[in-house]
Structure 1
Amino acid sequence: MNRTIQFGSWQGVLGNGLAERELVCILAVAAGHTDKEIARRDGLSPRSIKGRIESAMFKLGVYKRPALVAEAMRRGLISPMILALCAILVGQSAISDHSLNRIRKPGERRVETRVSIRRTEVALTA
């Protein structure tokens, strides 16, 4: 059972070996928040936030915050919301691509045939 968590403009997926609080801390770090800001928001001490971030670093095998965010993105644990929005929009445009359903005008078929014949002739003479 995978659950999605959102923090600012970032989203993360639970069910991957990380605790919910650790994932929230990674999302907050990715959003650029400090330990104090995260602690103030969650009503905890900055030390406990630092412990959760260190625990997530240990589980992912990294030792610096930028590497933590990069590794979480590489493993697909977190992603910026803009990527999800782009994926949705691209999927919608692929489903409803009006250019595929375009009806040709009467003269277009002849022009396409002439162009393809010309390309074939050029290829044969070269």
Structure 2
Amino acid sequence: MNVALETRNSYENFVLESDIMYFRVGEHGLVSFHGKNFHIKKRMSTEQIIEITTGGAFFKVNTDCYVNTKKIVQIQEGKVFFEIKGADSKFISITKLRQHRLKDILQQHKTDAK
């Protein structure tokens, strides 16, 4: 009996809000997406970049980097952590001003969830 299971290749067909922790927008439309165990570079049009950067799921932490607010575990000492803090943790640096704004957004998400 042959059973073909549909498997999703996260490297090619990732879901932005659930698979990506953060992404960086580079020159000439090159966007670098970072997931838990992978990172992918894709060339995107200006319209596509505007669409993903203006949505509510991602927050701009510096000039070219956006973090997924649903994947944040902790914000501490100018860093946004996505996994358990330790040797293998993934994090992004953030300025103090944006850190306070992001904490307010996360607190609002918690309040809305109740």
TM > 0.5:
no
The answer to which structure has the higher strand fraction is: 2
Higher Cα radius of gyration: 1
Name which structure has the greater RCO, CA cutoff 8 Å, separation 6+.
Answer: 1
The answer to which structure has the higher helix fraction is: 1
User: TM-score, normalization: structure 1?
Assistant: 0.25
